[in-house]
């Protein structure tokens, strides 16, 4: 069930970042490339997470947990062109992680 929640959350975040969701959802997230122009080793499409004190409940929220999962994805998955390709790659990634770490 947690993999299913992750898949659905990442699919929604993919839609948000590609302009297929309402603007109020887009305003919840800031990409690193929008915050800093420094050329670092991080992928510019990662989601910026401010250093704040967070409660245990907040760490499980969509606004915090899904961007962490997004930032941990391989770059080829993040650069998918369509939602269907993205979902296939996510399922493969989740399955491989599940098999490697039972």
For 98, other C-beta atoms within 10 Å of its C-beta total: 10
Quote the percentage of the chain above a pLDDT of 70.
81
User: In the numeric block, which tokens belong to residue 87?
Assistant: 């979902």
| pTM (two decimals) | 0.75
CA gap 98, 96 in Å, rounded: 5
| Per-domain boundaries in the chain | 2-100
| pLDDT tens-place string over residues 64-98 | 788 888 888 888 888 889 999 999 988 888 777 74
- Average pLDDT (1-15) is 85
């Amino acid at each position: 069930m947690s993999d299913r929640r992750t898949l659905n959350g990442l699919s929604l975040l993919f839609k948000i970042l590609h302009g297929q969701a309402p603007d109020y959802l887009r305003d919840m997230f800031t990409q690193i490339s929008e915050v800093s122009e420094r050329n670092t080793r991080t992928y510019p499409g990662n989601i910026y997470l401010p250093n704040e004190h967070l409660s245990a409940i907040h760490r499980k929220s969509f606004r915090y947990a899904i961007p962490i999962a997004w930032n941990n994805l391989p770059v080829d998955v993040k650069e998918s062109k369509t939602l269907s390709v993205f979902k296939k790659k996510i399922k493969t990634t989740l399955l491989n992680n599940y098999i490697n770490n039972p």
